[in-house]
Amino acid sequence: MLRSCLSILVSENVKNELPVVIDLFSGCGGLAFGFKSAGYKILHGVEIMKAAINTASYNLYWRDGLDAKHHWGDITELNPELFKKDIGESGCIVIGGPPCQAYSQIGRAKLKSLGEDRKHTNDSRGFLFQDFLRFALELDARAIVMENVPEAVDYGGLNVPQHVCDILEENNYQACWTILNAADFGVPQVRERIFVFAVKKNVTTQTLNLPTPTHSSQDSKAVQGQLRRKKIFESKSFRIPNIADSNLPNWVTVRDAVSDLPSLFPTAKSKYHLYKPNIQLFYNSEASTDYQRLMRNWFGRGQKSVTGHGYRRTERDFPIFERMRPGDDYRDASIIAEEMLDEVCRAESVDRNLDVGIYENLRQSIVPPYDREKFHTKWKKMPPDKPAHTLVAHLSTDTYSHLHPWEPRGISVREAARLQSFPDGFLFQCNMGDAFKQIGNAVPPLLSKAIALAMRKNLLNYDE
């Protein structure tokens, strides 16, 4: 009888403890970092990009003096037994975002350009969700969170999030999927992503809680995810996300997010400096918004300076950026460049018909060589009083998609991190390209923390 009572007590204690986190396809650790900030212990992680492993390991373990590191490797070749022995009685929650390149429109177009045999449905990365599920099921996870791009609803006719929910429900989970906009959770960026939520049926007895928005749009314009709901509403496991109350604070803007960061390049005639990742620069001003204060004080102590504030040297285009207005794209930029070329030709008395060689050299040094109509979405000067548009991994190649709203340059690594809600103490000790790629691929920590808090309610069986 006593043994039976002790077993019940142990069982109840396990139920009241949060499971440890297994972080798959971790990238730089944005999803796990939000869970850590919500009180979960990060136990293990897997990532194939070595630079991202170092970033995740530092910010999830080493900065707190923990002797741990995410695993480097191809998940298709790894056995879940690798982690099983360390999980303990509280069980685990498996989180992660399988690669999205095969689903995204950008990824599809790139693969298609490489030939019919490279079309997106032939990309093996499109089925890595199967390895995510393999780990989750073999580790008998108490709960699961999986992230991906909205285009995953149609992968050659397969609705990936619904398919994942079907498999989980067959394995005794309560599961649902939804589309969340990071801007609704205090992130200064309109970024919509699919999330699958699942909890073992013997763990929770209630309808799954979804994250509660903390911010709302300042206008009534529908974003893409809201438009998609009309098409996917009939999907069996789809859940409409919690609606942001109009009385909540407005979405955080680019100005709210970055106006206190150190000035780098005030005019197109300024001298370029390449700041290495560990160089500390003092803030431009005192924190003036709640968001800036949060970014400086996330770890419980006020930051006095920031690192990782390097930006790209695009000398030909700095003068173009300077003349662009917030909201301008490449169509506007190319017209500006043509005007600049005409000004130089007049000033130097160059005739395009008579001085062909000189004219072509001038043109090459001033005007970007891209098609105005095909390329227009690749450049964008961010309006300062709106959230940024979605950051993507292509930032690792160039930052033309996110031009600074008042300085004539692309955004810096630290500015990209701010727009993703990585706090100023979150370090990126790697080269600029790797840092931009990690940030563009990440789940914003503020959104992740909201998800982690909702899952806490599901795991500990309490409602809103």
What was the pLDDT predicted at 377?
82
Our answer to whether residue 100 is catalytic in this structure is yes
The domain that holds 170 is classified in CATH as 3.40.50.150
- What tens digit of pLDDT does each residue of 165-182 get? 999 999 999 999 999 999
Residue 409 lies in a domain: no
pLDDT < 70 stretches in the chain: 1-16, 100-126, 220-233, 462-464
Of these residues, 92, 100, 165, 345, which one is catalytic? Answer: 100
What was the pLDDT predicted at 74?
94
Torsion, Cα 423 428 433 437, to 10 degrees, reads: -50
Q: How far apart are CA 3 and CA 369, in angstroms?
A: 78
Q: How far apart are CA 166 and CA 290, in angstroms?
A: 41
Pairing, β 71-72 against β 143-148: unpaired
- CA distances from residue 242 to 90, 210, 238, 300, 389 in whole angstroms, order as listed: 29, 7, 13, 30, 22
The range of the structural domain enclosing residue 161 comes to 19-250+443-459
- What tens digit of pLDDT does each residue of 110-157 get? 555 555 554 545 455 668 999 999 999 999 999 999 999 999 999 888
Residue 100 lies in a domain: yes
Q: What phi, psi does 225 have (nearest 5°)? A: -60, -35
Residue 1 lies in a domain: no
Report how far Cα 69 is from the mean position of its chain's Cα atoms. Answer: 21
What was the pLDDT predicted at 9?
36
Residue 313 lies in a domain: no
- Angle ∠(189,245,205) on CA atoms, nearest 5: 100
What was the pLDDT predicted at 230?
57
Residue 57 lies in a domain: yes
What was the pLDDT predicted at 355?
95
Number of domains in the chain: 1
- Is residue 28 within 8 Å of 52, Cβ to Cβ? yes
β-sheet bridge partners, residue 175 = 198
What was the pLDDT predicted at 14?
46
Residue 415 lies in a domain: no
Residue 239 burial (10 A CB sphere; 0-12, 13-18, 19+): middle
Residue 273 lies in a domain: no
What was the pLDDT predicted at 142?
97
Report how far Cα 382 is from the mean position of its chain's Cα atoms. Answer: 17
What was the pLDDT predicted at 374?
83
The region that residue 140 occupies, defined by phi over 0 for left and psi between -120 and 50 for alpha, beta otherwise, is left
Residue 216 lies in a domain: yes
